Structure 1
Amino acid sequence: MLVRRAFADLSVGQVHFAECGSANAPAVLLLHQSPRSWAEYRAVLPLLGRRFRGVAMDTVGFGDSPPPPWEPSIERWAGVAAELLEALGIERAHVVGHHTGGVIAVELAVNFSRKVGAVVLSSTPYTNEAFRIARAHRPPIDAVEPSPDGAHLMQMWRNRQAFYPEGRPELLQSFVLDGLKASGDIEGGHRAVANYRMEDRIGRVTQPVLLIRARQDPFSSPHAAELAEHLKDARIVDIEGGMVPLPDQLPEAFAQAVTDFLVTQS
């Protein structure tokens, strides 16, 4: 199916998005991890487009969206996502988020509940005080010092290599390309996640939630059961072999899990 790309004029400037599927179908908003872009869902969009109007946006500061005029913030990113839905004439959408995108999805579901149908949280961390303390004592995740000989590009690759499947260099290449476009603040998404007080918000999520657990994602897989304990209506689906780049690593399995859940909610 054809994937269409465009920009929407929002309060922060021109926000980039890609979409696939009929404008009359139920809408699904897809939110990516940091420091990726809509391209994380490049192979997923046509699969979802068979039943839904899939919209994958570039979070402000990433991909082809503009740098944020404020410090990266989960709350502000959720506000921009709500603006995009409004600009596209979408009154209500299901929301799918992976890693950072999942955290944004939680805030969107709480603060803009009338706009959000069902929620899919893929490899999403539970960010409470313990998470913030642990993150404060860890080194930067993706930031590297630029090197005249380009060695920093290899360092970006190596920093992520252990969390990506062997024999799939195209996935790491996509990560590096997106990382280089991250508005000069490649750590912005990680910092925003660490600062978000999810423990004060998650109990206000009233929508049905699917938790997708990538079994080989060491960062977020352990959080699925903890998230489920704080949600009123949640179920967990495991994707075996799934790692950090789950949507573009296993797009068919990812899209199938999302579709199976959402067709019961539409």
Structure 2
Amino acid sequence: MSWVIDMSAIRRGYIDTRIGQIHYREAGNSDLPSLVMFHQVPSTSAMYEVLMERLANQFHIIAPDMPGFGGSDALNEAVTIKAYADILHEALLALGIHQCLVFGHHTGASVAVQLEYDFPGFASKIALSGPTLLDQALKDLLPKKSFAFPVEDNGSHLMLMWERVRAKDPDATLALSQRETLTGIALGDTYPDAYKAVIDQDYATQLASVKCPVLAFAGTEDPLLGQLDNALALVENGEKAIIEGARTYVCERNADEVSALLTNFFK
């Protein structure tokens, strides 16, 4: 399904941090409850534009590009989920956000949990789409799915990235697949770094430390669906939801269902 987005509802800005600038998208009135959204990789905050438009009348939404993605400057240290969370926390404080609702999808779910682990109480509630509690099989598989394609004179690396993106969801719109392909290409040799950071994160320990309410959900076609119950078993106050037929791009292709879940959970 193709969505027409009212881009006038979404604003953009930059925040100065110790690594440079963090780019973010913003929607909603600042008097509304603050909701921070962390994107998956190799996406950017552009993946949340559909959701932001739907939720802008209920929340003040901040969706940053993680360091090295979209319009944000890259880390000047080793890439870890902790390093991502530290810089994003610094950026959010600079915006005057000291406590908020938090939503993360896939890698964004890694960042969301790391943020609350390192800064307890920063999140009043956390929603996780595809929690990244990886078993050994997934940890072994991920590097095979996330290596960088060397740049070739004949441009074959462009087609390889396109095929990788389309394989995630063959029914996604061509515009969505093109956006994700170009984002992946832009990462160059750094493409695998965020995936390795997810593998290295001690997600189980961090998730078990979370005290605030947690909503964990996944689509029936999400490769992380099998870890959903194990993730929920680690939290003190958890809710579960499953979206029929949803895949990697659930936040866009199933935006109505996701926005309803978030509205009901965050109310």
State the TM-score, normalizing by the size of structure 2.
Answer: 0.92
Paired AA for residue 157 in structure 2: H
1:176 matched residue in structure 2: 181
Unaligned 5+ segments in structure 2 are: 1-7
- The answer to whether the Cα contact below 8 Å between 1:74 and 1:193 also exists between their aligned partners in 2 is yes
Amino acid at match of 1:63: G
Q: Report the Cα offset of residue 235 of structure 1.
A: 0.9
Match of 1:234 in 2: 238
Spell out the pairing of 1:85-96 with structure 2 (5 A cutoff): 85-96=92-103
Q: How does 1:50-129 map to 2 (within 5 A)?
A: 50-127=57-134
2:207 counterpart of 1:202 = yes
Relative to structure 1, the CA distance from residue 66 to residue 189 in structure 2 (aligned partners, 3 Å threshold; closer, same or farther) is same
The CA distance in 1 between the partners of 2:171 and 2:179, in whole Å, is 15
Match of 2:150 among 145, 149, 160: 145
Instruction: Compute the displacement of 1:174 (Å).
Output: 1.6
2:17 is matched with: 10
Aligned-partner SS, 1:223: helix
Matching residue's letter, 1:72? V
* Structure 2 contact 148–188 (Cα < 8 Å) conserved: no
Q: The residue matched to 2:9 in structure 1 has which SS?
A: coil
Instruction: Please list every run of at least 4 consecutive aligned residues from structure 1 whose deviation after the TM superposition is greater than 6 angstroms.
Output: none
Structure 1: 5+ residue runs without aligned partners? none
User: What residue in structure 1 maps to residue 43 of structure 2?
Assistant: 36
Q: Aligned Cα RMSD in Å?
A: 1.7
Report what 2:56 is aligned to.
49
Whether the 8 Å contact between 1:127 and 1:196 is mirrored in structure 2 is no
For normalisation by structure 1, the TM-score amounts to: 0.92
Q: 1:133, CA displacement in angstroms?
A: 5.2
Number of residue pairs matched by the alignment: 260
Deviations 1:29-72 (A, max 9, x none): 10001111000101111112110001100000111101110111
Contact 2:168 2:247 (8 Å CA) reproduced: yes
| Residue number in structure 1 paired with 2:140 | 134
What's the CA shift for 1:109?
1.4
Q: Distance in 2 between matches of 1:151 and 1:248?
A: 28
Three-state SS of the structure 1 residue aligned to 2:43 is coil
The answer to whether the Cα contact below 8 Å between 1:171 and 1:248 also exists between their aligned partners in 2 is no
C-alpha distance in 1 between matches for 2:153 and 2:241: 45
Instruction: Provide closer, same or farther for how the CA distance between residues 152 and 119 of structure 1 changes in structure 2, counting only shifts above 3 A.
Output: same
Letter in 1 for 2:211: T
Q: Alpha carbons of 1:191 and 1:229: their partners in 2 closer, same or farther (altered >3 Å)?
A: same
Counterpart contact for 2:161–2:185, Cα < 8 Å: no
Residues in 1 aligned to 2:101 and 2:40: alpha-carbon distance in whole angstroms: 17
Report which of the two has the higher share of helix.
Answer: 2
Q: Output the amino acid matched with 1:220.
A: L
1:188 to 190, 193, 205: 193
